[in-house]
Amino acid sequence: MARKQRIHYPGALYHVILRGNAQQDVFFENCDRYRFYLLLQEGVERFGYRVHAFCLMTNHIHLVLQVGEIPLSRIMQNLSFRYTSWINKKLKRYGHLFQGRYKAVLVDADVYLLELVTYIHLNPVRAGMVENPEDYTWSSHRAYLDKETVLWLTSDAVLSLFDQNGDKAIGMYSHYLGEKIGEGRNEQFHSGGLDSRLLGEEGFIEEAMSKAQILMEIKPSIYEIVKAVKIICDIDDEILCSRQRSRIGSEARTLVAWAVSEFSAGTVSEVGRMFGRDITTLSACIKRMTNKSRNDPAIAAKMSSVKEGIAVKAIKQA
């Protein structure tokens, strides 16, 4: 049976779980955890998402992420790929670090945000690693208590639910969490509701599905992006798909891959299959083009033209 498509719309809040492949550890030293922190910080800056809570266990990771325009799939692909590369290089090994597809449940923030954040902060207690969640170093709980500073963490959304006064809100949050100690596993935070992708009442589910469907309908397809790039670069299919090395063809393919990753419901993997190119190569090309565009007006102008070209199509569809 085909996997259900991820549900995405700006502002969507997810409980994300990354598990080690075959239940293996994903952190081996403290420097690994600090590296993961750095990658989260860079992701917040690059992809514009919010981290409302996190808990780094030994063989799995819990995150509460709220996305912007960039879908969760791209965020997690970047995060897991870069962290896996770090571990493999450090340990001089190859292969997968994480277990297949990450788990993500789209959650009704208005109803479940507070409960989800405290549930994640209590994960080390439920696992028998500590008796007091404050004693666990690798979660956002201590930052919520203002005992640590995590600049890329968004804690105000939860704390403001208690009080607008910061100190008072922290005290009320701490008391609320203390009352939750001793509660067991909440299966709905792991498996969703009737639809395993979502957790919320019927009205929320209908609204979320509607938002996601509208967004899917107005996003340009890969073929629409290819068409726009061919016009802007003034090339035909022969050059675009040629196996011969050509600066013009390579630049055009990179523009397609970049636009797909930024604006389409498609993936770079699909672009790779279309052109017979390796996804790793395309991803590296996207990174080089993005960096080059900061100092090369010609490249920046082409990227802007592609964006404008496919935006016109999206507006017409909407």
Encode pLDDT of 247-299 as tens digits. 888 889 999 998 888 887 678 888 888 888 888 888 889 988 888 888 888 88
**Per-residue confidence (pLDDT) for residue 14, from 0 to 100:** 96
**Per-residue confidence (pLDDT) for residue 217, from 0 to 100:** 56
Residue 173, Cβ neighbours under 10 Å: how many?
23
Concatenating the DSSP letter of every residue in 272-296 gives HHHHT--HHHHHHHHHHHHHHHTT-
Alpha-carbon distance of 126 to 131, in angstroms, equals 9
CATH 1.10.1750.10 placement within the chain: 219-317
Our measurement of the distance from residue 64's CA atom to the centroid of its chain's CA atoms, rounded to an integer in Å, reads: 10
For the record, the structure tokens of 100 come out as 């297949």
**Per-residue confidence (pLDDT) for residue 216, from 0 to 100:** 56
**Per-residue confidence (pLDDT) for residue 122, from 0 to 100:** 97
Structural fold of domain 13-215? Alpha-Beta Plaits (3.30.70)
CATH 3.30.70.1290 placement within the chain: 13-215
List CB contacts of 132: < 8 A, sequence separation 6 or more: 125
**Per-residue confidence (pLDDT) for residue 316, from 0 to 100:** 44
- Low-confidence stretches of the chain (pLDDT < 50) are 1-2, 314-318
Alpha-carbon distance of 258 to 271, in angstroms, equals 10
The CATH superfamily of 219-317 is DnaA protein, C-terminal DNA-binding domain (1.10.1750.10)
**Per-residue confidence (pLDDT) for residue 318, from 0 to 100:** 42
**Per-residue confidence (pLDDT) for residue 315, from 0 to 100:** 43
**Per-residue confidence (pLDDT) for residue 314, from 0 to 100:** 47
